[in-house]
Amino acid sequence: MIRRRKKTPERTVPHTRLQSDAELTRLYRFESKLGEGTYGVVYRATQLQTQTLWALKEIHKPEPGHSRWNLLDNEIQILQKVDHPNIVLLSEVLHTAQV
């Protein structure tokens, strides 16, 4: 007998459009780079309003129509479903024109 896992519901994660990267620095204080990969960089940052420590992943968006758009959308959809204390938690998606 094959067990089927229940579909994990997506959590509601706010998506916010920022006018520029400067707006991002008004929300977070970037402290150090934690890692770097093919598609972006992860930073240690503090949310200024709550003084909460976060890891922020900056993803370099591909050109419109590029196949990587599907990968990016897929990653966001997967992270919206993850809800476990020992796994990364997606709390917000911020979009800027530059990155």
User: Taking a C-beta distance cutoff of 8 angstroms, is the pair 11, 77 a contact?
Assistant: no
Residues belonging to the chain: 99
What is d(CA 66, CA 88) in angstroms, rounded to the nearest whole number? 27
DSSP letters for 12-25: P--EEE-SSHHHHH
Residue 57, marked binder: yes
Containing 81, the helix (H) or strand (E) segment is helix 68-81
Bind-site residues = 57
Binding residues for ATP: 57
